[in-house]
Structure 1
Amino acid sequence: MTWLDLPADHPFGISNLPYGVFSTDGSEPRVGTRIGDHVLDLAACAEQAGMESHEVWHRASLNAFLAQGRPAWTAARAWIIDVLTNPARRDCVEPHLIPVADVKMHLPIAVADYVDFYASEHHATNVGRLFRPDTEPLTPNWKHLPIGYHGRSGTVVVSGTDIVRPSGQRKAPTDAAPTFGPSVRLDIEAELGFIVGGATELGSPVSLADSDDHIFGAVLLNDWSSRDLQAWEYVPLGPFLGKSFATTISPWVVTSEALRAARVPLPGQTDPTPLPYLQGEATADGASTAYGLDITYEVEWNGTVVAHPPYAAMYWSPAQMLTHMTVNGATLRDGDLYGSGTISGPEKGQRGSFLELSWGGKEPVTLNDGSTRSFLEDGDTVVLRATAPGADGTTISFGECVGTIRPAR
């Protein structure tokens, strides 16, 4: 129990302790952790305590900390818990607690590489039916490997950044030729993003058993998507301009250690059984190296909650995605980010994209103000939220991932 005056059920309690990068008026960005409605300035606190680790937290990103690897991450979490629960540490900590309302949050990492996966069977099936109505919805390889594409790391932005409507080529099936202009079918994709630390050498795959040594934590991720640009360009090489214009992530990184209580078995992967390098193995605590996560999402559109996608329904695990990403010898870099792909469940109210919720625009969504939407209009605001079970029966929060659409330029 922390010595702070904090409700036991606070979603940013001692079971959570996410990392982020913040600044205050007149100060440089640096690393902090959130506890309740405050941010603990880790660099200042660690420096006052005489710890050498303060150097990696006097940075404008988490990358230097990510490079230290799992042993350092575990030790840091243990130290933070100690200073927040040991009353003898109070005088050292209290001066460095800053109200959340008084800080500005920044992108938590300098994004190295960005890969986006396609790990929800329900989403992939829905999109297959919409885009390829005359064929099987899942491609032949879908249940054999986690499908992904390389995105654009330079357009990953922090929550609260406005999103400019993209322009590009689009061509409806009935059009004789493509046209150019602002996207008219602008969409979201509610995802989890996983942040990587512990760089690897070229040619050195990361096994499933070792994947946890590299998965630092998770953020909320909105993979903004232009469906009209995407539909015209994606054959034969997949998403490009329909995705690369912006990806938003939440500012707080919930660590994989905080998410350990949220681990659940994956949906059955028996027909077909994955190849051996993707097969989970039992761990010492009776779990599996290929695990799902019991995370409940909330998608809000202009103040109306329109969906609750369940991450536990995802077919491929975060560990399997990372292992497959490196099986060819591709490197990991500190600050790599990979997205889960859209989180969708079997029910209509569990769909994590507006393409699915409106069924390609044929079933518009009614908002609380009486207006209807199929895709995003200028001025629309989308808020993603998510919670997960934490240790000792607590609930932990990821915070919010927010973006507002601005007109094309």
Structure 2
Amino acid sequence: MTNFYPLPLNETHDPDLKSWVESANGHPDFPIQNLPYGIFSVGREARRVGVAIGDYVLDVSALDGVFAPEVQDAFMQPTLNRFMGLGRACWQDTRLRLSELLRDDFPSPFESSPHLHHQSDVQMHLPFQVGDYTDFYAGIHHATRVGSLFRPDNPLMPNYKHVPIGYHGRSSSIVVSGTPITRPAGQILPDPAQPPIFAPSRRLDYELELGFVVSGGNDLGEPISIEQAREHLFGVVLLNDWSARDIQAWEYQPLGPFLSKNFATSISPWVVTFEALAPFRTAAFVRPPGDPSPLLYLQDERDRMLGGLDIHLTVSLQTQSMTEPQQISQSSATDLYWTPAQLLAHHTCGGCNLRPGDLLGSGTISGAAQQNAGCLLEITMGGKDPLPLASGETRCFLEDGDQVVLQGWCEKEGFARIGFGNCSGQVLPARQIEAAQTVEQ
């Protein structure tokens, strides 16, 4: 198969590969061409590394003698951090070995089959320990549409097309898909003519994002060049950066969001590796005429040609009166203004040191049309245009009991479709608090 930057294609990407795990063949998310990593447990057993294959999880920690000792030790850990720190050559060798073990022509599948667990029988956990979390703002259609709500004549700030905008989030409140989300409380300003109040958020929202998982670090003071950035990226997860819009509106000036973001961020349990995504790399966002060229430290011809990701994304919403989720928007990662490599290179250009398990959020991913928006703030234009639902209900923002489901997948002619599974969360009522007290002046 043809090789190309940034990662080579090899026999693990062959669309004709089949697995002795029958549910993997034609699986919309987890065929043998994917092989994403996650952390799982069964009952009260210890957490360990698993690989998704069809409807099952392969307990790779139990495959004695199959992998190199350092890999086997990493697979016994309760997070992926140690494995991610082993480097790309090790990841590629391990992927090839896993592919060989799971192919339908493997001579003794019975040796591995006892270590298969149906996904319905396991509990998934955070796949890696998040040391630091940085949320970027790389979705240009989101930035433009949200900016137009507040600055109709000048929606983008002057720096947006020059520098990847980002801020440091709260890593301790990152949770795995399926974790309930308690409605946050904070200061809000319902009436500009009156003092702020302390109350549960009334404008709770989701944000459709991707999370880029950092694999290896750099010494403090040593930047990572854009040419080297791919060696420091392990994989991708779906990410929902829940947002309390009314709390944010009051608190964000002059330093940006705080309580409006730090209450929860959900990620999907399976990390899809950049090796698996190699067939779905695409050109970076094509800048319109008149847009500035990136500064030199953010330029790389190979990254410009194949630094983007062709990932289809959807958001579905299920209210308490619905029997199943309803898709309310769809978008594509091709609409990110900056590539993952550019985000990582910029993050370290001043000497910031990254470590295995650090997480880079893409920012909300929206399409050019309003119906392709990645959050309710955009879809409803700040609550002015309520979203009609098939149940007869409407939504401006999320209500208690609502469940949000993010999905993502890649498909391309000549290759097997692979996916990310789900990233979901249900909104729970706010804690019982004295929510109506006003702030003393």
Separation in structure 2 between the aligned mates of residue 330 and residue 101 of structure 1, nearest angstrom: 41
Match of 2:368 among 346, 350, 361: 346
Q: Could you tell me how far 1:268 is from its partner in structure 2?
A: 2.0
Q: Could you tell me how far 1:387 is from its partner in structure 2?
A: 0.7
Match of 1:88 among 104, 107, 113: 107
TM-score (norm: length of structure 2): 0.88
Aligned length: 403
Q: Is the 8 A contact 1:296 1:311 kept in 2?
A: yes
Q: Is the 8 A contact 1:48 1:92 kept in 2?
A: no
The aligned amino acid for 2:208 is A
Q: Is the 8 A contact 1:300 1:307 kept in 2?
A: yes
Separation in structure 1 between the aligned mates of residue 285 and residue 110 of structure 2, nearest angstrom: 48
Aligned to 1:294: 310
Shift of the 130–297 alpha-carbon distance from structure 1 to 2, 3 Å rule, reads: same
Aligned ranges 1:202-281 → 2 under 5 Å: 202-269=220-287, 271-281=291-301
The aligned amino acid for 1:300 is S
The aligned amino acid for 1:292 is G
Further displaced range: 65-74 or 336-345:
65-74
Separation in structure 2 between the aligned mates of residue 385 and residue 363 of structure 1, nearest angstrom: 25
Cα displacement string for residues 113-153 of structure 1 (whole angstroms, at most 9, x for unaligned residues) = 000000011000011111334x5100000000110000000
Separation in structure 1 between the aligned mates of residue 108 and residue 65 of structure 2, nearest angstrom: 11
The aligned amino acid for 2:292 is P
Separation in structure 1 between the aligned mates of residue 264 and residue 75 of structure 2, nearest angstrom: 27
Structure 1: any 5+ residue segments left out of the alignment?
none
1:69 aligns to 2:87 (yes or no) = yes
Q: Could you tell me how far 1:304 is from its partner in structure 2?
A: 1.4
Aligned ranges 1:7-86 → 2 under 5 Å: 8-11=25-28, 12-45=30-63, 47-49=64-66, 51-52=68-69, 53-85=71-103, 86=105
Cα displacement string for residues 172-203 of structure 1 (whole angstroms, at most 9, x for unaligned residues) = 46333211110000000000001111121001
Q: Is the 8 A contact 1:280 1:290 kept in 2?
A: no
Q: Is the 8 A contact 1:20 1:252 kept in 2?
A: yes
Q: Is the 8 A contact 1:258 1:391 kept in 2?
A: no
The aligned amino acid for 2:339 is S
The aligned amino acid for 1:331 is N
Aligned to 2:418: 396
Q: Is the 8 A contact 1:192 1:218 kept in 2?
A: yes
Q: Is the 8 A contact 2:284 2:304 kept in 1?
A: no
Percent of counterpart pairs with the same letter? Answer: 49
Separation in structure 2 between the aligned mates of residue 204 and residue 239 of structure 1, nearest angstrom: 29
Q: Is the 8 A contact 2:310 2:334 kept in 1?
A: yes
Further displaced range: 269-278 or 121-130:
269-278
Match of 1:105 among 114, 118, 124: 124
Cα displacement string for residues 355-390 of structure 1 (whole angstroms, at most 9, x for unaligned residues) = 000110000001111000000111111011111126
Shift of the 119–100 alpha-carbon distance from structure 1 to 2, 3 Å rule, reads: same
The aligned amino acid for 1:396 is I
Further displaced range: 287-296 or 151-160:
287-296
Structure 2: any 5+ residue segments left out of the alignment?
1-16, 319-324, 432-441
Separation in structure 2 between the aligned mates of residue 163 and residue 72 of structure 1, nearest angstrom: 37
Separation in structure 2 between the aligned mates of residue 215 and residue 255 of structure 1, nearest angstrom: 9
Q: CA RMSD in A?
A: 1.6
Separation in structure 2 between the aligned mates of residue 63 and residue 93 of structure 1, nearest angstrom: 24
The aligned amino acid for 1:184 is R
Cα displacement string for residues 33-81 of structure 1 (whole angstroms, at most 9, x for unaligned residues) = 0011111101101x25374121101111101111111111111111111
Shift of the 189–102 alpha-carbon distance from structure 1 to 2, 3 Å rule, reads: same
The aligned amino acid for 1:350 is N
Q: Could you tell me how far 1:7 is from its partner in structure 2?
A: 5.6
Shift of the 289–329 alpha-carbon distance from structure 1 to 2, 3 Å rule, reads: farther
The aligned amino acid for 2:46 is E
TM-score (norm: length of structure 1): 0.95
